[in-house]
Structure 1
Amino acid sequence: MSAHEAQVHGHCDARFAAVREAFEENFRERGELGAAVAVTVDGETVVDLWGGWADAAGTRPWERDTLVNVWSTTKGPVALCAHLLADRGLLDLDRPVSVYWPEFAAAGKERVLVRHLLSHRAGLAGLREPHSVEQLYDWELTTERLAAAEPWWEPGTRSGYHALTYGFLVGEVVRRVSGMRLGAFLEREVTGPLGICDFTIGLPEKESGRAAELVHPRAADSSEQAAIFSQLSPAAIAALANPVVGATQANTPEWRAAEIPAANGHGTARAIAALYGVFAGRGSYGGRRILSPEAAERVREGQGSCRDLVLGAGFESETEIGLGLWLSGPNGSYGPNPWAFGHDGFGGSCGLADPEAGVSLGYAMNRMGPRIADDPRKMALVASLYSAL
């Protein structure tokens, strides 16, 4: 059975048949290898589909409980942790980061606010000095270098996507405030209480048998990726290529064992939909409140639209980041509601929340496309979801 003939399993309410159709078309027409998609409406799962292969060779079927690295889709749960602390009065998003992390005040960063970290406006999109993948696995070294780093631009003035540094920056603040690394905090305060057993920062070794193999973009897609990278500014190169990470690195035991909260969350589409369902439910999911409605609303508080200093060339118009997630905006990245919001993962995955419609969506896959955001497979699923509402 080829990817074009992939069997799709799971359930899909009749009302959302268009989502199943788009999911099947992803295999036939858009090069899907293995993937899953889930949708919740008012906290109830209405779509839970999976299919294809968990490995490049096509020897392991994608199962109901297959886990996969979802790259920056992880950033939504990271933001949730910060907002949970703020909701409890333990973290003030309008105070300087150095209040919680004194070393961070170095190199002119004494006025960088916590909100600037969440909205990718801290000017620390990447490190200026070479930073290897192996060094990325070292939490203390990476956060020490970020604390000492000089911003690439005046903090607070523009957004510039902090592809890898976001998780260390927000994660270190969470650690300084709570005394816990972000992965442990997420499990204790969010996934544990909500019964979301299939989403972790990094991947426990005991779960490695369930992990899908990430696969590099196809040759044509790789050419598109090379063209995108050829246009990058120095700050963007620092953000996206210092170090270079991709499928090769993410398939290793070392990557899975590390804690890289911007990029190495592992989960199922079902778990992603549940986590973003907290935002869609205005702080509640499955009858349990995680955030106050006011705190949940604050997540999508726009910080000003602009041409993002790292990703700007990849979008038709300006984009806007809230306090941790991207607004759908004029690009319709998360559907026609401009105030819907979410986060994409490098190569295609996605988490989406639309409180007005009461819906969340999770999408995870293993054949990476060339884009950091708005992969055609994800956009087809989002369009199909809204056609059914």
Structure 2
Amino acid sequence: MTIAELLSHQAGLSAFADPTSVDDFVNGKVLAGKLAQQSPLWPPGSRSGYHAITIGFLAAELFRRIEGRSLSSFVEQELTPFDIHIGISDAELGRVANVIPPAGMTAESVVPELDELQAATLGNPPLEPEAANTKNWRRAEIPSANGFANARGLAGLYSSLLRGAPEARFKLSSETLKQATEIRWSGTDAILDIEANWAAGFLRNSLGIYGPHAAAFGHSGWGGSFAFADPESGLAFAYVMNAMGTELVGDPRTLELLKAVYS
């Protein structure tokens, strides 16, 4: 498969083949090795399905083999001005807010009436939001699920991407950003069961989740958080919260915020 297919959730590796626990997340290199030896759940490139947890371990291992550093080390060293972290040090634990989920919320409850593929992806291991409040989770490197940031830092990062990332230690060319934000798959996501325009790592705007302009790109988090950049308007925006909402798409808080910003 191509790197673009991997980063746009087309790899067919959205679920672990073997029973996996949250405790296993502390060793992403081992999990990446297991995923590399699995048979894909669908022919790579034939469909797209959100690799909710596995995408982080796959991307981190790919990055390590190309660049040499861990993804968390790269973020710490290269994105310092934005106060963004993958995993958090003991010294910073006191700054972290607990997430507050609705009663009984699990990853599987995000999508009603799960089919076999969705159940395997969202239920192995079963994920409860409270896991994010534990020290072991916060200290680990789980690139798809334990990023730490605030809204100012996320908006600052997206704003910087629109300008070639002058604040970061690395330099981002316009060609690289074009490659990263080009739509690689458009259609119904096999896991989330919603319309999605997947780029290489980013989610391109669909269903108006990032405002009125098709070129907007970003990503959303479980419970209502999101961050994006809109090249047409020059706008970068982020919203984070610790009180989780239940809507997969259409959280009333995000809808009202977008309406206010664009008006």
- Tell me whether 1:257 sits opposite 2:139 in the alignment: yes
- Tell me whether 1:379 sits opposite 2:255 in the alignment: yes
The counterpart of 2:177, out of the listed 268, 277, 296, is 296
- Tell me whether 1:172 sits opposite 2:56 in the alignment: no
Distance in 1, Cα, partners of 2:227 & 2:166? 15
- Tell me whether 1:351 sits opposite 2:240 in the alignment: no
For 2:159, give the aligned amino acid: G
Q: What's the secondary structure of 1:284's corresponding residue?
A: coil
Q: What's the secondary structure of 1:336's corresponding residue?
A: coil
Distance in 1, Cα, partners of 2:9 & 2:210? 19
Question: CA contact under 8 A between 1:125 and 1:163: conserved in structure 2?
Answer: yes
Higher alpha-carbon Rg: 1
Distance in 2, Cα, partners of 1:286 & 1:138? 31
Alignment of 1:99-178 (within 5 A): 112-178=1-67
Distance in 2, Cα, partners of 1:218 & 1:378? 21
- Tell me whether 1:204 sits opposite 2:86 in the alignment: no
Question: CA contact under 8 A between 1:274 and 1:285: conserved in structure 2?
Answer: no
Aligned residue in 1 for 2:196 = 319
Q: What's the secondary structure of 1:342's corresponding residue?
A: strand
Structure 1 residues 286 and 308: CA distance shift in structure 2, 3 A: same
Moved over 4 A (4+): 285-289
Structure 1 residues 374 and 169: CA distance shift in structure 2, 3 A: farther
Structure 1 residues 277 and 239: CA distance shift in structure 2, 3 A: farther
Equivalent pairs: percent with the same residue?
39
TM-score (ref. length: structure 2):
0.93
Question: CA contact under 8 A between 2:111 and 2:192: conserved in structure 1?
Answer: no
Aligned residue in 1 for 2:245 = 369
- Tell me whether 1:214 sits opposite 2:99 in the alignment: yes
Shift of residue 263, structure 1, vs aligned partner: 0.8
Question: CA contact under 8 A between 1:344 and 1:373: conserved in structure 2?
Answer: no
Distance in 2, Cα, partners of 1:288 & 1:356? 26
For 2:26, give the aligned amino acid: Y
Question: CA contact under 8 A between 1:344 and 1:372: conserved in structure 2?
Answer: no
137-146 or 349-358: bigger deviation: 137-146
Shift of residue 298, structure 1, vs aligned partner: 1.9
Shift of residue 140, structure 1, vs aligned partner: 2.7
Distance in 2, Cα, partners of 1:142 & 1:263? 15
Distance in 2, Cα, partners of 1:321 & 1:116? 10
What per-residue deviation string (whole Å, max 9, x for no partner) do you get for residues 242-299 of structure 1? Answer: 1122321100000001000011001111111112223333x23459873111111222
Question: CA contact under 8 A between 1:303 and 1:322: conserved in structure 2?
Answer: yes
Which structure exhibits the higher relative contact order, with contacts defined as CA atoms closer than 8 Å and separated by 6 or more residues? 1
Distance in 2, Cα, partners of 1:340 & 1:116? 20
For 2:209, give the aligned amino acid: S
Distance in 1, Cα, partners of 2:38 & 2:116? 15
Superposed CA RMSD: 2.1
Instruction: Give 5+ residue unaligned stretches, structure 2.
Output: none
Distance in 1, Cα, partners of 2:176 & 2:218? 16
Q: What's the secondary structure of 1:206's corresponding residue?
A: helix
Distance in 2, Cα, partners of 1:285 & 1:378? 29
TM-score (ref. length: structure 1):
0.64
Question: CA contact under 8 A between 1:279 and 1:355: conserved in structure 2?
Answer: no
The counterpart of 2:115, out of the listed 233, 236, 242, is 233
What per-residue deviation string (whole Å, max 9, x for no partner) do you get for residues 8-50 of structure 1? Answer: xxxxxxxxxxxxxxxxxxxxxxxxxxxxxxxxxxxxxxxxxxx
For 1:356, give the aligned amino acid: E
Structure 1 residues 373 and 285: CA distance shift in structure 2, 3 A: farther
Structure 1 residues 242 and 374: CA distance shift in structure 2, 3 A: farther
